[in-house]
Amino acid sequence: MKTIAFLSGKGGVGKTTLAANIAVALAQRKKHVALIDLDPQNAQRLHLGMDPDEIAGLVREGISPGSLFDSPFGIKFIPFGRVTGSELDDFEAQLKKNRRWVADGIESLVKGSFDFVILDTPPGPSVYLQQALMAAQRAMVVVLADAASYLTLPKIESLVQEYTAQRPDFEGVSILINQMPTNSKLGHQVRSALYANYSKNLVPIAVYKDARVAQALAFERPVLQYEPGCKASLNIQNVADWLIDSTDQ
Ligand SMILES: Nc1ncnc2c1ncn2[C@@H]1O[C@H](COP(=O)(O)OP(=O)(O)OP(=O)(O)O)[C@@H](O)[C@H]1O
Ligand SMILES: [Mg+2]
C-alpha cells in the first residue's frame, strides 16, 4: 500500500481535481484506492457527485474501514465533512496534539485492502499538510507552468523535508505540471526550466489545460468519466500508468 499526498504551495492549481481523477484512473486499472479529503473546503466530494448535505466524513467519523463511502466511480472515499467553526477548531486542536492522527487512521485500514491511499490537502503550510506528510510515502506537488509556481517550489520542498525528516519510509517528491497551456511560449519555458532543475522529480507527463475539466465539475463527475477521450483525461490516465510503474504496485 502506498500513500500519496497531493500538495501545492499556491492555491487553485488543481490538486483536488487531479487527486480525484488519478484515484479514479487507478481504480479503472483494477487498483484498490481510498481517497481522503484533508481540506476543510470539503470540495473533493464535488468531483464524486456526493450529496452536499452529507455531514459524515473525516471530522465526525475519523479514518477507519467503517468511515469509507463507496463512490460510484470505483473508489472508496472519506470526505472532509460539513462542520461548524467550533467543530473545526476542536478538530484542528486534536491534529496539533497528535501529529500521527491521519497516519494512525490509515494504518487502521485493513492491511492489504488498498493499493493506494490518496490524500488531498489545502494549499501551503497547514496542520493538514503536516498530517499528510506524516502518513505519505510519496508527495505529489502540483504546479502550474508559471513563474509563481516555479518560485514556490523551494519553499514547499523544504517543508516536505522538514516534516518527513524522521521518516525512513518516505520515498520522495514528484512534481506534476497541471493546466499546461497548448500555445504559450512562457509555459514551455517554465516546463523546460523545471526539467532542467528538477529532472529527477518531474513527472514525465503534463496534464494540459482542458475546458472539459471544468465542465465535468459542473456535472459533479470526474472528467475521466465525463469525457474519457479528451486531452486531460488521456494525460491523467498516462499519469496513473506512470504512478503504477514507478511504485511497483
Ligand atoms: N487540467 C485542467 N484544465 C482546465 N481546468 C482545470 C484543470 N485542472 C484544474 N482545473 C480547474 O482549476 C480550478 C481549480 O482546481 P482545484 O480546485 O482542483 O484546485 P486546488 O489546487 O485543489 O485548489 P485549492 O488550492 O483551493 O484546494 C477548478 O475550477 C478546476 O476545474
Ligand atoms: Mg483543493
pLDDT, tens digit, 9 for 90 and up, residues 155-203: 999 999 999 998 999 999 999 999 999 888 888 888 898 888 888 899 9
Ligand 1 test: best mutation among 17, 45, 126, most atoms within 8 Å of CB?
17
- What is the per-residue pLDDT for 191? 87
Q: How confident is the model at residue 45 (pLDDT cuts 50, 70, 90)?
A: very high
Average pLDDT over residues 77-86: 94
**Least confident range of 85-89, 134-138, 145-149:** 145-149
Q: What's the mean pLDDT when you consider all of the chain?
A: 94
Q: What is the DSSP string of 165-234?
A: TT-TT--EEEEEEESB-SS-HHHHHHHHHHHHHHTTTB-S-PPBP-HHHHHHHHTTS-HHHH-TTSHHHH
Q: What pLDDT sits at residue 183?
A: 85
User: 110 falls in which pLDDT band (50, 70, 90)?
Assistant: confident
**Spatial distance between the Cα atoms of 180 and 3, rounded to a whole number of angstroms:** 26
The pTM assigned to this predicted structure is 0.96
Distance from the alpha carbon of residue 39 to the mean position of ligand 2, in angstroms: 7
In the prediction, which pLDDT does 249 show?
60
The environment of the single-atom ion ligand 2, i.e. residues with CB closer than 5 A, is 15-16
Cβ atoms 21, 165 nearer than 8 A: no
